[in-house]
């Protein structure tokens, strides 16, 4: 796992220096080595830089930027291609020779043989930039699910002409000194709704994320020539089988156990992480190490379940206890690790830190099991509410609003400083979606009611539809057309909650401590096999993930998993009222800071008051999301 960055177009010496600064800013992503390549032809330059976290082939020969001695092509690459040995044998049979044992060189040589078609042959997670010297253009690409990030911006060069900059992190681009530190109103609108930015625009104006499963060609003048989506979710006619799915589950974990450095498994004791640990154990891993975070607050602590799984599998298990004082002591470091504001990444930061301190460089996680196999309540609730929404859609909004208000008062009683921001409080939003599954999903899982969301913003929400950036919303709406509803919900979960939040948070938080996290349950072969099943096969006995349990956990006692679902959540609810109260209060009461980013300070303070008073239907995530946003924009000095 690594960090990459670079510039194309009018790249003079000052831009090369800026790229070097960008690269140093990403040292945490690759503390083992760093280097720079500069191509100077026809008064235009290409600068590519790389920070290395050595995982496969630890020798200098595997370092980057890597140049192919035959073609002169150069690559900077972040990620892991797990089928690289298979591809290497194919290339060797065709006469290719290799100077390293790395997957990076396989990608570089594969491009020489297959061109852009190499992307469809790669099984893994990656973001790359490959300079084709003979064609004088650069290929950017990102893996199918968007596990590895890649950000870019286009602007005028200080010396004239166009300039295209890219990096693994938004903060790296900011560090260049070439980007105006302006908050993106569209990114802000999306963040307030979701607690993360959902779409290709980031929270920084003019900085974009290359979409998952997409490639982009940049010419030597810094101009975008073409953008191509080389992968998308299988269409509804795609057919699969249980045998195929079981094989791909086993193969996906097996491939991710290849490492030249210490490797372990995050084990919460839930179905997904236990499935990964069990599949790893089946592959005969000796002395498999597993890690779990426990809490002083017993109601949040699932470590006994992880202990049972670890004992059943015979792993070398480590439990790390996390308390308020430790969290407060290291909170600033966790926040410093955030590449964009998000309300959830600190969870992953602390478990990643614990694994790294225990000597691990690579960790496997169960991320994605809920989205693929139907582990969330959304798979039950949205179909049910969609039916009611269509039936009640004949009534005008005024009637729906009146009925919703009465129901909310019956459920919660008189509202406090802030009306309820959970399901019953959102009843009008849900009913007014009139059965539209995407709007229903966003109404259910948005942080705030639509009315309070508008109160938080000083101006009208910008270029978003139900919290999703307009182009992203349309892509999702097109993607679920013609699918059975449960398949559509899975696609939305994988594209939004997973793709725009969990994967981004996991990458940022783990790389902040120089840890590589591998996520086998969203291997694209598993996704394609799962989407090819009949709905009743894939989603039977919702939301227990019965199919995953049968395929991966049949050897373990089912009683371990027959319990209410609980995600990995830090006890921030408690800590915000105790150890962190002063810190949170200071930021939430900063009127000038709120105004500088287009938020209503009075509304924020009402939110904080309601939380401290224990207002019904007001969870910690609402307060925490605003705190993290204000901290981040203050840290990086952004304003509208």
Q: For the chain, how big is the Rg over CA atoms in Å?
A: 24
- Buried b / exposed e across 132-157, counting CB within 10 Å, b at 16+? beeebbbbbbbbbbbbbbbbbbbeeb
Q: Which of 206, 225, 198 is nearest to 475 (CA)?
A: 198
Maximum distance among all Cα pairs of the chain, rounded to whole angstroms: 76
3-state secondary structure of 204: strand
CA angle 420, 421, 427 (to 5 degrees): 85
- Buried b / exposed e across 286-322, counting CB within 10 Å, b at 16+? eebbbbbbbbeeeebbbbebbbbbbebbebebbbbeb
Read off φ and ψ for residue 135, nearest 5 degrees: -90, -10
3-state secondary structure of 152: strand
Tokens of residue 18, six digits: 């800026």
- The answer to whether residues 118 and 107 touch, using CB atoms and an 8 Å cutoff, is yes
Q: Which of 198, 207, 203 is nearest to 179 (CA)?
A: 207
Strand ranges for 82-213 from DSSP E: 124-132, 137-142, 151-156, 162-167, 208-209
Strand ranges for 352-466 from DSSP E: 362-364, 464-465
Q: Which residues touch 415 (CB under 8 Å, ≥6 apart)? A: 408, 409, 615, 616
Round to whole Å and give the CA distance between 4 and 138: 14
Which residue's entry shows tokens 């199919």?
547
Catalytic residues, which ones? Answer: 2
Round to whole Å and give the CA distance between 8 and 167: 12
Round to whole Å and give the CA distance between 241 and 486: 18
Tokens of residue 8, six digits: 């194309």
Q: For residue 487, count CB atoms less than 10 angstroms from its CB and return exposed for 0-12, middle for 13-18, buried for 19 or more.
A: buried
- Number of other CB atoms surrounding residue 434 within 10 Å: 18
3-state secondary structure of 525: helix
Tokens of residue 50, six digits: 């790389």
Q: Which of 386, 366, 378 is nearest to 491 (CA)?
A: 378
């Amino acid at each position: 796992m690594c960090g990459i960055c670079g510039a194309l177009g009018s790249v003079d010496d000052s831009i090369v220096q800026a790229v070097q600064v960008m690269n140093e800013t990403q040292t945490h992503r690759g503390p083992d080595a760093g280097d720079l390549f500069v191509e100077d032809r026809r008064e235009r330059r290409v600068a590519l830089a790389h920070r290395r976290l050595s995982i496969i082939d630890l020798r200098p020969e595997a370092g980057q930027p890597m140049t192919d001695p035959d073609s002169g092509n150069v690559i900077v690459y972040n990620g892991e291609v797990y089928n690289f040995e298979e591809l290497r044998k194919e290339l060797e049979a065709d006469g290719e020779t290799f100077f390293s044992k790395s997957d990076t060189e396989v990608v570089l040589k594969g491009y020489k043989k297959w061109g852009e078609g190499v992307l469809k042959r790669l099984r893994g997670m990656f973001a790359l930039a490959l300079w084709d010297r003979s064609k004088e253009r650069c290929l950017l690409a990102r893996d199918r699910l968007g596990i590895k990030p890649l950000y870019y911006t286009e602007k005028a060069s200080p010396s004239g002409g166009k300039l295209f900059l890219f990096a693994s992190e938004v903060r790296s681009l900011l560090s260049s000194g070439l980007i105006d530190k302006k908050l993106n109103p569209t990114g802000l609108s999306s963040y307030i709704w979701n607690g993360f930015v959902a779409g290709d625009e980031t929270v920084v104006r003019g900085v974009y994320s290359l979409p998952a499963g997409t490639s982009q060609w940049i010419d030597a003048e810094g101009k975008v020539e073409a953008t191509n989506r080389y992968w998308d979710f299988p269409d509804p006619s795609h057919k699969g089988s249980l045998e195929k799915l079981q094989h791909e589950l086993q193969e996906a974990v097996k491939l991710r156990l290849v490492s030249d450095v210490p490797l372990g498994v995050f084990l919460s004791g839930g179905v997904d992480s236990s499935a990964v640990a069990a599949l790893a154990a089946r592959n005969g891993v000796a002395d498999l190490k597993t890690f779990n975070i426990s809490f002083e607050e017993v109601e949040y602590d699932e470590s006994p379940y992880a202990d049972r799984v670890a004992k059943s599998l015979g792993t070398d298990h480590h439990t790390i206890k996390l308390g308020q004082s430790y969290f407060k002591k290291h909170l600033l470091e966790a926040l410093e690790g955030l590449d964009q504001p998000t309300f959830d990444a600190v969870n992953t930061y602390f478990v990643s830190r614990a694994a790294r301190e225990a000597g691990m460089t690579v960790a496997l996680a169960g991320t994605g099991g809920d989205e693929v196999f139907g582990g969330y309540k959304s798979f039950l609730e949205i179909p049910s509410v969609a039916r009611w929404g269509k039936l009640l859609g004949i009534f005008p909004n005024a009637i729906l609003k009146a009925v919703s208000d009465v129901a909310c008062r019956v459920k919660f009683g008189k509202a406090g400083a802030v009306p309820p921001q959970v399901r019953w409080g959102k009843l009008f939003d849900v009913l007014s979606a009139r059965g539209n599954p995407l709007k229903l999903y966003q109404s259910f899982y948005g942080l705030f009611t639509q009315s309070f969301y508008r109160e938080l913003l000083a101006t009208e929400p910008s270029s978003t539809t139900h919290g999703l950036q307009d182009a992203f919303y349309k892509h999702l709406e097109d993607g679920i057309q013609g699918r059975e509803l449960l398949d559509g919900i899975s696609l939305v979960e994988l594209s939004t909650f997973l793709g725009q939040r969990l994967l981004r948070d996991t990458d940022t938080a783990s790389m902040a401590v120089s840890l590589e996290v591998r996520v086998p349950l969203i291997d694209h072969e598993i996704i394609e096999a799962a989407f090819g099943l009949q709905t009743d096969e894939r989603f039977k006995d919702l939301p227990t993930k019965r199919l995953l349990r049968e395929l991966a956990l049949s050897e373990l006692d089912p009683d371990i998993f027959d319990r209410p679902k609980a995600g990995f959540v830090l006890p921030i609810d408690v800590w915000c009222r105790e150890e962190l109260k002063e810190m949170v209060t200071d930021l939430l009461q900063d009127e000038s800071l709120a105004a500088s980013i287009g938020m209503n300070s009075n509304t924020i303070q009402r939110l904080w008051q309601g939380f401290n008073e224990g207002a019904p239907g007001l969870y910690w995530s609402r307060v925490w999301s605003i705190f993290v946003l204000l901290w981040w924009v203050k840290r990086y000095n952004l304003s509208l």
